[in-house]
């Protein structure tokens, strides 16, 4: 079979970043992806939009698709790809494909059918979940072996393939026992070990949904682990770890200690602006739900921008007030054809309202001449005045172009005009309300208490979210509301939401600080 290959790829234990580089690259190239329940859905972000995704999920004991059916499906899909001229199929499996993943059976079926295959190992949950719980599976002087065992097997059956006395001997010298698929048999597993001579006081840890935001850890002893798990409602999927290493968690826990771990935070910024904020929140452990309340569209009238572009060399200053303004400006400029890129601004000084806008400009090859330390119009004006003086430019008869949103605040143009500058404020884009898709899901999650915080980074995000929620706006009372500053807070207050946490410093980092502070005070649910 030429031109076809099936890749058995380990998806890792849950954290989407724990996929291997090779796995990510193969997913990007795949024409067909066959995946199951434990392969994190975020992995879908690597897949080509036109790739075919086939779900063959199994959920523990209630099997949907049998292994034979999966084997047949892989062979069938690979042959179909070959008939269509070749391609690649990724069989994505949770953790590692060859660790309790039945990857071996799939490989044998492919070999039998003469279909080429490769195996890409993944990080197995038996190592990763303990690591994220702060438990090393081996530790010098404590545990010199680790054994991976299936806990799925019925421990009451006589001809057990599991050698309990052997496991007990390993455990007696501190060896780590790591059970997969064992939650239903937890009590029996603990019993068997104690019956075979392992001390009932041996630490036993359970790590559920390891490496994900839903991770939960419970440390007990063999004597009480089953009862404590039941009391805590602890279920699958979890790793059961037995051995003294479990006692190290107390000193090594880290993942669950991050300041926003376990918090679900809604980000209402536009999709293109959200990432910096979202990334900061995620780095602190939050589960981020991006719900954009602002989208961008072309302005109603391009004529003023076009006129400005025609005489672009006549401007002394071009002032960009948003990332999107930069993109919209250069997109329009490019339509003019040759040399219509950064070179059009060769004779002008360029200002960016803040670091994000400055960074965007750099992507177009421009290092701005002025970046004020603060976002307010007054601060921008001061920065322009100072820079002008430095460049020997007289602001009094300077020509200034401000390509920006169709509707925006007037502080900066007014200040510049008062100083004598000739200012052209032109619309490069307009902000619009995005389609209301996903609103129902958000409302359901809010009402179910699954959202801890909703963040507002501007008045328009507040206004727009309220508009999108419509008569369901009361659902916002189920979460803590966070505002970036007084103007946004006032907008919320006007709509009847007065219990709002306001950032001390009116910036994204300030808003992040407010979330962390509120969490530390135990103020959020
Ligand atoms: N091939 C997978 C294991 C599949 S068997 C791997 O290498 O990880 C399924 C079992 O794996 C579950 O019953 C559970 O014991 C364990 N498991 C998978 N993902 C897990 C996770 N994120 N946290 C804890 N246990 C997990």
525 pLDDT above the threshold of 50: no
State the pLDDT at residue 524: 45
Cα–Cα distance between 500 and 480 in angstroms, integer? Answer: 7
Could you give the strand order of the β-sheet that contains 295-297, starting from the edge strand earlier in sequence?
A: 295-297, 422-432, 399-405, 317-320, 349-352
Write b or e for each residue in 302-319: b if 16 or more Cβ atoms lie within 10 A of its Cβ, otherwise e. Answer: eeebeebbeebeebbbbb
**CA torsion through residues 316, 320, 325, 327, sign:** positive
408 pLDDT above the threshold of 70: yes
For ligand 1, residues with CB inside 6 Å are 13-14, 38, 93-96, 99-101, 124-125, 129, 180-181, 207-212, 236-239
> 396 C-alpha to center of ligand 1: Å?
69
Q: Which of 67, 180, 217 to mutate to test the pocket of ligand 1 (most atoms within 8 A of CB)?
A: 180
Closest by alpha carbon to 259, among 447, 524, 14, 507? 524
* DSSP 8-state secondary structure symbol assigned to residue 139: B
Q: What is the pLDDT of residues 313-363, one digit of tens each?
A: 999 999 999 889 999 999 999 998 767 899 999 999 999 988 889 999 999
Q: Residues 232-258: what's their mean pLDDT?
A: 97
Strand partners, 55: 35
Judging by beta carbons within 10 Å of its beta carbon (0-12, 13-18, 19+), is residue 321 exposed, middle or buried?
Answer: buried
State the pLDDT at residue 60: 54
Closest by alpha carbon to 450, among 263, 209, 216? 263
Question: Which pLDDT band holds residue 41 (cuts at 50, 70, 90)?
Answer: low
Q: Residues 259-280: what's their mean pLDDT?
A: 91
State the pLDDT at residue 1: 45
What is the 3-state composition of the chain as percent helix, strand, coil, each rounded to the nearest 5?
Answer: 40, 20, 40
State the pLDDT at residue 153: 78
> 141 C-alpha to center of ligand 1: Å?
27
Q: Residues 168-173: what's their mean pLDDT?
A: 97
Asked if 66 contacts 111 with a C-beta cutoff of 8 angstroms, the reply is no
Cα–Cα distance between 209 and 39 in angstroms, integer? Answer: 12
State the pLDDT at residue 94: 93
Q: Which of 70, 94, 182 to mutate to test the pocket of ligand 1 (most atoms within 8 A of CB)?
A: 94
255 pLDDT above the threshold of 60: yes
Q: What is the pLDDT of residues 91-144, one digit of tens each?
A: 999 999 999 999 999 999 999 999 999 999 999 999 999 999 999 999 999 999
Q: What is the pLDDT of residues 153-168, one digit of tens each?
A: 766 666 678 999 999 9
For 382, 433, 436, the CA distances from 444, given in Å and listed in that order, are 47, 21, 14
Asked if 236 contacts 181 with a C-beta cutoff of 8 angstroms, the reply is yes
> Ligand 1: which atom is nearest the Cα of residue 97?
1
* DSSP 8-state secondary structure symbol assigned to residue 237: S
State the pLDDT at residue 175: 98
Q: Using only C-alpha atoms, what is the Rg of the chain?
A: 29
Cα–Cα distance between 389 and 315 in angstroms, integer? Answer: 16
Could you give the strand order of the β-sheet that contains 87-93, starting from the edge strand earlier in sequence?
A: 52-55, 32-35, 87-93, 4-10, 117-120
Q: Which of 60, 209, 239 to mutate to test the pocket of ligand 1 (most atoms within 8 A of CB)?
A: 239
> 94 C-alpha to center of ligand 1: Å?
7
Give 48-56's long-range contacts (Cβ < 8 A, gap of 24+).
none
Ligand 1, atom 2, lies closest to the CA of 95
Lowest mean pLDDT among 212-226, 245-259, 348-362, 375-389: 375-389
* DSSP 8-state secondary structure symbol assigned to residue 121: -
5 pLDDT above the threshold of 80: yes
> 182 C-alpha to center of ligand 1: Å?
10
Higher-confidence residue: 340 or 79? 79
Tokens for 311, please give them. Answer: 């005489």
What is the pTM (predicted TM-score) of this model? Answer: 0.82
Average confidence score pLDDT of the chain? 92
> Ligand 1: which atom is nearest the Cα of residue 181?
13
> 191 C-alpha to center of ligand 1: Å?
22
Residue 252, classed as helix, strand or coil, is helix
Cα–Cα distance between 191 and 226 in angstroms, integer? Answer: 10
State the pLDDT at residue 128: 98
> 127 C-alpha to center of ligand 1: Å?
10
**CA torsion through residues 389, 395, 401, 404, sign:** positive
Asked if 505 contacts 469 with a C-beta cutoff of 8 angstroms, the reply is no
Higher-confidence residue: 284 or 61? 284
Report the interhelical angle of 377-390 vs 411-418 (nearest 10°). 40
2 pLDDT above the threshold of 60: no
For 231, 238, 381, the CA distances from 220, given in Å and listed in that order, are 12, 15, 62
State the pLDDT at residue 96: 97
> Ligand 1: which atom is nearest the Cα of residue 103?
1
Q: Residues 3-22: what's their mean pLDDT?
A: 95
Secondary structure of 422-488 as H, E, C letters: EEEEEEEEEEECCCCCCHHHHHHHHHCCCCCEEEECCHHHHHHHHHHHHHHHHHHHHCEEEECCHHH
Strand partners, 146: 176
Which residues are catalytically annotated? 36, 58, 181
Closest by alpha carbon to 509, among 354, 309, 362, 382? 354
Could you give the strand order of the β-sheet that contains 216-221, starting from the edge strand earlier in sequence?
A: 146-150, 176-180, 238-242, 203-208, 216-221
Cα–Cα distance between 179 and 226 in angstroms, integer? Answer: 14
Write b or e for each residue in 86-110: b if 16 or more Cβ atoms lie within 10 A of its Cβ, otherwise e. Answer: ebbbbbbbbbbbbbbbebeebbebb
Closest by alpha carbon to 462, among 493, 505, 508, 421? 493
Residue 283, classed as helix, strand or coil, is helix
Number of neighbouring beta carbons within 10 Å of residue 163: 12
Q: Residues 204-231: what's their mean pLDDT?
A: 97
Judging by beta carbons within 10 Å of its beta carbon (0-12, 13-18, 19+), is residue 241 exposed, middle or buried?
Answer: buried
Number of neighbouring beta carbons within 10 Å of residue 209: 19
State the pLDDT at residue 37: 74
For 309, 333, 340, 346, the CA distances from 336, given in Å and listed in that order, are 9, 6, 6, 16
Residue identified by tokens 């849950």 is 14
Tokens for 64, please give them. Answer: 């949907």
Lowest mean pLDDT among 12-16, 53-57, 287-291: 53-57
Judging by beta carbons within 10 Å of its beta carbon (0-12, 13-18, 19+), is residue 80 exposed, middle or buried?
Answer: middle
């Amino acid at each position: 079979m030429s031109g076809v290959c099936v890749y058995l790829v380990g998806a890792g234990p849950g954290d989407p970043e724990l996929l291997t580089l090779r796995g990510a690259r193969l997913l990007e190239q795949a024409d067909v992806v066959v995946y199951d329940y434990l392969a994190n859905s975020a992995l879908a972000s690597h897949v080509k939009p036109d790739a075919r995704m086939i779900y063959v999920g199994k959920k523990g004991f209630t099997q949907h698709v049998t292994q034979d059916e999966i084997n047949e499906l892989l062979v069938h899909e690979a042959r179909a790809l070959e008939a269509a001229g070749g391609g690649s199929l990724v069989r994505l499996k949770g953790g590692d494909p060859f660790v309790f993943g039945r990857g071996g059976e799939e490989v044998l079926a492919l070999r039998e059918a003469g279909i080429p295959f490769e195996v890409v190992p993944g990080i197995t949950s038996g190592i990763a979940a303990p690591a994220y719980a702060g438990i090393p599976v081996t530790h010098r002087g404590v545990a010199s072996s680790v054994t991976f065992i299936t806990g799925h097997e019925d421990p009451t059956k006589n001809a057990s393939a599991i050698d309990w006395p052997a496991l007990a001997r390993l455990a007696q010298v501190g060896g780590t026992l790591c059970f997969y698929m064992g939650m239903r048999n937890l009590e029996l597993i603990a019993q068997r070990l104690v019956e075979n001579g392992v001390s009932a006081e041996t630490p036993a840890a359970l790590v559920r949904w390891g490496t994900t935001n839903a991770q939960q850890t419970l440390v007990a002893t063999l004597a009480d682990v089953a009862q404590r798990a039941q009391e805590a409602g602890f279920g699958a999927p979890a790793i059961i770890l037995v051995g003294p290493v479990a006692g190290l968690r107390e000193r090594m826990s880290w993942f669950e200690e991050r300041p926003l771990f376990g918090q679900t935070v809604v980000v209402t910024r536009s999709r293109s602006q959200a990432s910096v904020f979202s990334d900061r929140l995620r780095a602190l452990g939050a589960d981020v739900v991006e719900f954009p309340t602002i989208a961008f569209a072309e302005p109603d009238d391009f004529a003023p921008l076009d006129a400005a572009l025609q005489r672009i060399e006549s401007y002394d200053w071009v002032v960009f007030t948003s990332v999107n303004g930069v993109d919209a400006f250069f997109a329009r400029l490019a339509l003019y054809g040759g040399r219509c890129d950064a070179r059009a601004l060769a004779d002008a000084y360029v200002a960016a309202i803040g670091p994000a806008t400055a960074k965007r400009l750099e992507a177009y090859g421009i290092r701005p001449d002025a970046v004020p330390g603060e976002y307010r119009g007054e601060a921008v004006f001061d920065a322009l005045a100072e820079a002008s003086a430095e460049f020997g430019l007289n602001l009094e008869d300077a020509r200034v172009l401000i390509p920006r949103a169709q509707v925006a605040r007037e502080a900066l143009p007014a200040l510049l005009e008062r100083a004598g500058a000739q200012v052209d404020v032109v619309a490069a884009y307009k902000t619009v309300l995005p389609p209301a898709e996903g609103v129902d899901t958000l409302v359901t999650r809010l009402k179910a208490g699954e959202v801890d915080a909703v963040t507002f980074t501007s008045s328009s995000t507040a206004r727009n979210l309220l508009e999108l929620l419509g008569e369901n706006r009361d659902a916002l009372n189920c979460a803590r509301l966070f505002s970036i500053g007084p103007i946004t807070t006032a907008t919320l207050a006007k709509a009847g939401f007065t219990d709002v946490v306001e950032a001390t410093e009116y910036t994204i980092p300030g808003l992040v600080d407010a979330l962390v502070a509120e969490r530390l005070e135990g103020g959020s649910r």
